Amino acid sequence: MKNKHRRERFLSTNTCHWISLAFLLTLFLPMPLPNRVRSLALVSLFFLSGAKAASFAPCDDAATDPALRGSQCAVERVPADPSGAAGTGGEIDLFVRKFPAEGASRGNVWLIAGGPGESGASFYGLIDAFRAAFPGFDLLLPDHRGTGFSTRMCPQEEALASAGGTALVGDEWGTCFARLQAAPAQARQFSETNAAHDLKRLLERTPSHGKTYVYGVSYGTQLVLRTVALGAPGIDGIVLDSLVPRQDDDKADLSRRSLVADAVGRQVLAACDASPRCRRTMGEPAEAVYRRVLERTASEPQLLAEVPGKNLKRFFGSLLDVPGAPWQIPYVIKELDEGKVTRLKTLVAEVKQTTAQLGSFPQSPPSVPLVSLISSAENNLQPGRTAQAVREEEAGLLFASSLPGLLVNAAVPLYPQDALFGRIPTRLPRVLVIHGDRDAKTPLDAAERHVEALRKNGPVQVYVATGTGHFSLWWNGACTRATVRKFVLGPQDESRCVSVSSHD
């Protein structure tokens, strides 16, 4: 469909899963082929503009992937700096994709992606899971400002038609960040508070013929809570998947991510020791075998030849976030100790297949500039940390994350924290928190501390998914979906689930 309201500048201002997910995507997800990107750049995805709320119309790319079938698209024009903190004027574009309910609609569910830096595309491959969790609801997936087909921080380098599509490649890294450094006010337009104003506006201006729920995952939980703190009206319930720590929690901010991954990784090794099958395979405590392998890599670099990234601690740390992968780590360690890589290669292939469930779309690559901006401005409680300090910390760990090192010396001009930093909404609707007890990104104990604070201002229900990690709806489908359905539909829902053991 060619629409007379289409604006050519969208081709230069639009396009794009957790910054550590960006590391995982780099390891395992193939980037879209250049010819596919350039052909899709010619597809008109944007329909209406103007002062009034945008209307949804069939998406022109709906036939390009089965996951997009039946979807509808709209673009909402919003102030570039609704909070006024950047001191700039003008407007930007927000892209929203809707998957209408199958049959009569019960209302709207807004699905808020994490990252920061992820677009709504991170959910496209899991639409069937969301339909099962929220049966009968229209699903609305906005692209945060700076991501996806919404206005980008570096519109030239992140354009669909650019060399790497929506991902930065080659010289684009330098020109993008140099431009942001030269225009700090423009960079500050992409603050978390401005993104919260965007979501509040979308909630206010999008009609609903029933109830309205908001689901957020990871960073998306923080953004949802800030939106509620702004006074977003008409929300009947909130589902927070993998609730982030409070912003002033100095035990679990992003600079401590390697410590979080290490704690969960050690739980995986301990679970192996507690499993008769895994213990027999290892022949000795799993940690002892792993330490021996780590020591050998210094003198036998060939052991790392098949390890993505050539960093064993970070590789295993990234696997903690992938469904089905953590329990295989001890067996890979055992084979590496024997000089074998068969299981390693098999696991890498399986991880590619698992992460492929999320889909690969032109706007799938995370927006690295936005990741850098919000992660450093909002969630780093050790801003003066050095690269040497990060290396020294990692040297004493068994599992690690790339994120603490990426927080050192942010490449974008940061904005000061505002009055909404760390604020608990004064009034909450019904809230359901779903969380894995082996979450290596947003640790369960930090989520529990956050829940304790939230409960002072509203009812909060908690479901802990045993043996699962980050992004519960991706990990623990049956049980988590059943819990969400009951929260949304009430006691009349009779959903059941069955837990699955990891090692045996």
Summarize pLDDT for 55-89 with one digit per residue, the tens. Answer: 899 999 999 999 999 999 999 999 999 999 999 99
Ranges of each domain in the chain? 57-249+418-489
Say if strands 460-465 and 237-241 run parallel, antiparallel, or are unpaired: unpaired
User: What residues pair up with 142 in beta bridges, in sequence order?
Assistant: 96
pLDDT in tens, 152-210: 999 999 999 898 889 999 999 999 999 999 999 999 999 999 999 999 999 999 988 89
Walk across the sheet containing 430-436 and list its strands: 57-58, 72-79, 91-99, 138-142, 107-112, 211-217, 237-241, 430-436, 460-465
The pTM for the full model equals 0.88
Q: What single-letter DSSP state applies at residue 55?
A: P
pLDDT average, residue stretch 10-33: 33
Residue 142 token pair: 């906005």
Q: Is residue 139 very low, low, confident or very high in pLDDT (cuts 50, 70, 90)?
A: very high
Compute the distance between CA of residue 309 and CA of residue 356 in angstroms, rounded to an integer. 19
Cα separation of the two ends of the chain: 53
Compute the distance between CA of residue 471 and CA of residue 473 in angstroms, rounded to an integer. 6
Q: Is residue 36 very low, low, confident or very high in pLDDT (cuts 50, 70, 90)?
A: very low
109 touches 130 (CB < 8 A): yes
Compute the distance between CA of residue 412 and CA of residue 373 in angstroms, rounded to an integer. 6
CATH 3.40.50.1820 fits 57-249+418-489, yes or no: yes
Q: Which three-class secondary structure state does DSSP give residue 401?
A: coil
What pLDDT shows up at residue 298? Answer: 87
Compute the distance between CA of residue 393 and CA of residue 385 in angstroms, rounded to an integer. 11
Count of alpha carbons within 13 Å of 270, Cβ hemisphere only?
Answer: 8
287 touches 266 (CB < 8 A): yes
User: Per DSSP, which regions of 22-179 are E strands?
Assistant: 57-58, 72-79, 91-99, 107-112, 138-142
The amino acid occupying position 434 is: I
Q: Is the pLDDT score of 25 beyond 70?
A: no
pLDDT in tens, 352-400: 999 998 889 999 999 999 999 999 999 999 999 999 999 999 999 999 9
DSSP state letters, 423-455: PPPSS--EEEEEEETT-SSS-HHHHHHHHHHHT
Compute the distance between CA of residue 65 and CA of residue 153 in angstroms, rounded to an integer. 27
